[in-house]
């Protein structure tokens, strides 16, 4: 699914209107009906007081349509117009007149702080004050209104985007943004929903199909692309009937130091589980017995040093090398990295201390192998590219780094972003239980194992990140978030493969809601959710 800019979304509206021979009012009616249907499916006539706050632009017009439909269906509704300017959009005025004519209910004007209504914690607020066209943060009494709504304790449903949030640029004033419980966005998700600084304001997101021109959406150059189960299926390379272990490559996992041999175990095991034909672990001497006992399928090469790595050698040319997990920053280790980067022709997955060593050594940075996959967590990323002021600047700096060094950079997070040159891909699998020690080691092993099987660096990155999160979801379904450990992700890779081509009812973002603040990506049970909602 493509994530488009505000200008592209407006263009999609215009093209839809032209190609479908409708006008903008009809498109607004269609959008309002979709929001109403979603609310109706949940409430089914429940006597909850619904407060509809409408701005004076097209987003406010959407709210007026929904308010009218709710009133006509005998819901307990109060409609407010947030009258912050004398300028009104044409479609807002059309629906303002229509709600008065059709329902005989005149919206209540809010012109200052003294007009703020009292809202109960058991009420519902429908937010349609500002849409994607907002270009500066709300100020004055309008900001205070937003603060008033956020403090009310009511369930807040935002139409298209929470008011005060920009669709594809950084926050200016976090206190002037609606903190939506649910966001009902139209057709195309907004980039802000997926970034650490802005995503929490949108919380659970449902994409409503309002029939925008699909050809334009698919052909437009996106700000980013979402990777869900459907996309992941397209990356999968089937096993060959007459394949053997040599067909699926030989991974070398260079990892571990005294007290951190577990990193080598996790990465090596994950490389096997994702499908590598052979795996050799290169570890300090102290890791030999651990690897041989824990993972008998792996071959083991040890360094001459007992506690850390000083020279990386092997009697074979690895298909792919995963390096850095728990290996430390000893100066001898840095020299070993330099020698390996100079001499090896293998593809690399570079993680953890290998990244830290690169960040701290300019000579090593110059030797960074092209076509590598880098997997930094936020701290490691900051050491690589420098600090940033906001998430958008961060992504721009990552793109610049990727182009300069010809590498894929995987930016880990609730929605892990894979960046290659100017392209951004946002993953939709995963859960908070995966925020646990060793999860990153597991991902590095998965990526290395995929490179061994012939995936190119971008496909390996996108498929690997998705499968990592998908397996994590399977583990969390059984164990809950708190009990999940990195080994559980590895153990559930088999189930992730088995279910990859099943009906993605609960895991395909396009058919479901975004993660909530707890990153719960499972579709709710309608009956149970309805009971909780009404309570």
Sequence-separated (6 or more) residues with CB below 8 Å from residue 52 = 63, 64, 66, 67, 70, 77, 78, 79, 80, 126, 128
Structural domain spans, the chain: 2-222, 233-237+244-500
8 A C-beta contact, residue 50 and residue 75: yes
The partner residues of 452 in beta bridges, in order of sequence, read: none
pLDDT number for residue 505:
56
- What phi and psi, each to the nearest 5 degrees, are found at residue 201? -75, -25
| Residue 73 CB neighbours (<10 A) | 13
Overall fold of domain 2-222: Rossmann fold (3.40.50)
Helices vs. strands in the chain: H and E counts, helices first = 20, 18
Here the tokens at position 100 are: 């008065």
Overall fold of domain 233-237+244-500: 3.40.1190
Annotated binding-site residue numbers for AMP: 412-416, 440
Q: Are strands 423-427 and 417-420 parallel, antiparallel or unpaired?
A: antiparallel
Q: With CA atoms as reference, report the closest residue to 460 among 364, 340, 356, 322.
A: 322
The DSSP output letter for 513 is B
pLDDT number for residue 511:
36
Annotated binding-site residue numbers: 58-62, 127, 131-137, 160, 163, 263, 324, 377, 412-416, 440-441
pLDDT number for residue 535:
43
- What are the angstrom distances between the C-alpha of 166 and each of 32, 33, 170, 171, 177? 21, 24, 7, 7, 9
- What phi and psi, each to the nearest 5 degrees, are found at residue 219? -95, -15
- What are the angstrom distances between the C-alpha of 117 and each of 67, 82, 145, 336? 17, 12, 10, 68
The partner residues of 423 in beta bridges, in order of sequence, read: 420
Annotated binding-site residue numbers for K(+): 59, 127, 163
Torsion sign (Cα): 363, 373, 269, 263? positive
| Token pair 């004398």: residue | 86
CA pair distance 153, 121, nearest whole angstrom: 4
pLDDT number for residue 524:
34
Here the tokens at position 289 are: 């017995």
* Same fold for the pair 2-222 and 233-237+244-500: no
Query: Which run of H or of E encompasses 217?
Result: helix 214-219
| Token pair 């960046």: residue | 419
CA pair distance 83, 9, nearest whole angstrom: 26
Each as own residue / partner, the long-range contacts of residues 508-513 (CB below 8 Å, 24 or more positions apart, any chain) are 508/228, 508/229, 508/230, 509/1, 509/226, 509/228, 509/428, 510/1, 510/207, 510/226, 510/228, 510/230, 513/182, 513/204, 513/205, 513/206
Here the tokens at position 161 are: 């985007």
Query: Which run of H or of E encompasses 78?
Result: strand 77-82
Annotated binding-site residue numbers for (6S)-NADPHX: 58-62, 131-137, 160, 263, 324, 377, 441
Give Cα 38 distance to the centre of its chain: 24
| Residue 18 CB neighbours (<10 A) | 10
Q: Are strands 408-411 and 417-420 parallel, antiparallel or unpaired?
A: antiparallel
φ/ψ region of 140 (left if φ > 0, alpha if ψ in -120 to 50, else beta) reads left
pLDDT number for residue 504:
59
Query: Which run of H or of E encompasses 420?
Result: strand 417-420
Here the tokens at position 41 are: 């499916």
Question: Nearest 5°: CA angle at 431, between 439 and 413?
Answer: 65
- What are the angstrom distances between the C-alpha of 185 and each of 62, 421, 441? 12, 29, 36
- Euclidean distance between the first and final Cα of the chain, in Å? 35
- What phi and psi, each to the nearest 5 degrees, are found at residue 116? -65, 130
8 A C-beta contact, residue 249 and residue 454: yes
CA pair distance 253, 279, nearest whole angstrom: 7
Residues of the chain with pLDDT under 50: 507-535
CA pair distance 271, 259, nearest whole angstrom: 21
Give Cα 254 distance to the centre of its chain: 29
CA pair distance 383, 409, nearest whole angstrom: 13
8 A C-beta contact, residue 515 and residue 521: yes
């Amino acid at each position: 699914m493509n994530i488009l800019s505000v200008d592209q979304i407006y263009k999609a509206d215009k093209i839809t209107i032209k190609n479908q021979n409708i006008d903008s009012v009809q498109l607004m009616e269609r959008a309002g009906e979709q929001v109403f249907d979603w609310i109706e499916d949940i409430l089914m006539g429940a006597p909850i007081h619904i407060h509809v706050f409408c701005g004076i632009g097209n987003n406010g017009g959407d709210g007026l349509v929904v308010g009218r439909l709710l009133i006509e269906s005998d819901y307990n509704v109060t409609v407010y117009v947030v009258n912050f300017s004398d300028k009104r959009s044409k479609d807002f005025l059309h629906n303002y007149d229509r709600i008065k004519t059709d329902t005989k209910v005149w919206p209540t004007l809010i012109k200052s702080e003294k007009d703020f209504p009292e809202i109960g914690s058991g009420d519902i607020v429908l937010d349609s004050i500002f849409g994607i066209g907002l270009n500066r943060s709300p100020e004055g009494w309008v900001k205070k209104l937003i603060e008033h709504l956020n403090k009310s304790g009511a369930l807040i449903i935002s139409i298209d985007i929470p008011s005060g949030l920009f669709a594809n640029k950084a926050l200016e004033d976090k206190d002037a943004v609606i903190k939506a419980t649910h966001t009902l966005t139209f057709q195309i998700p907004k980039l802000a929903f997926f970034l650490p600084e802005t995503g929490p304001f949108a919380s659970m997101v449902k994409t409503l199909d309002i029939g925008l021109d699909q050809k334009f959406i698919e052909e437009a150059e996106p700000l980013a692309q979402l990777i869900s189960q459907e996309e992941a299926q397209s990356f999968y390379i089937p096993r060959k009937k007459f394949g053997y272990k040599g067909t699926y490559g030989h991974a070398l996992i260079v990892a571990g130091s005294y007290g951190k041999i577990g990193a080598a175990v996790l990465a090596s095991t994950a490389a096997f589980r994702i499908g590598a034909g052979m795996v050799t672990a290169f570890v300090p001497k102290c890791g030999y017995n651990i690897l041989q006992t824990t993972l008998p399928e792996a071959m083991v090469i040890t360094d001459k040093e007992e506690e850390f790595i000083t020279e990386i050698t092997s009697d074979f040319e690895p298909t792919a090398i995963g390096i850095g997990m728990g290996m430390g920053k000893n100066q001898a280790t840095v020299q070993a990295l330099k020698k390996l980067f100079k001499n090896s022709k293998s593809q690399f997955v570079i993680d953890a201390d290998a990244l830290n060593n690169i960040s701290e050594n300019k000579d090593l940075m110059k030797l960074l192998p092209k076509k590598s996959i880098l997997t930094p967590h936020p701290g490691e990323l900051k050491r690589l590219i420098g600090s940033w002021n906001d998430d958008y600047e961060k992504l721009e700096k990552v793109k610049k780094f990727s182009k300069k060094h010809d590498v894929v950079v995987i930016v880990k997070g609730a929605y892990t972003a894979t960046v290659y040159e100017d392209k951004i891909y946002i993953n939709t699998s995963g859960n908070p239980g995966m925020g646990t020690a060793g999860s990153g080691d597991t991902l590095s092993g998965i990526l290395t194992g995929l490179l061994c099987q012939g995936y190119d660096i971008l496909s390996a990155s996108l498929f690997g990140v998705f499968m990592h999160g998908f397996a994590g979801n399977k583990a969390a379904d059984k164990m809950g978030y708190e009990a999940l450990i990195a080994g559980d992700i590895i153990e559930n890779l088999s189930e992730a493969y088995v279910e990859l081509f099943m009906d993605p009812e609960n895991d395909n973002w396009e058919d479901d809601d975004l993660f909530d603040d707890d990153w719960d990506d499972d579709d709710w049970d309608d009956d149970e959710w309805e009971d909780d909602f009404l309570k």
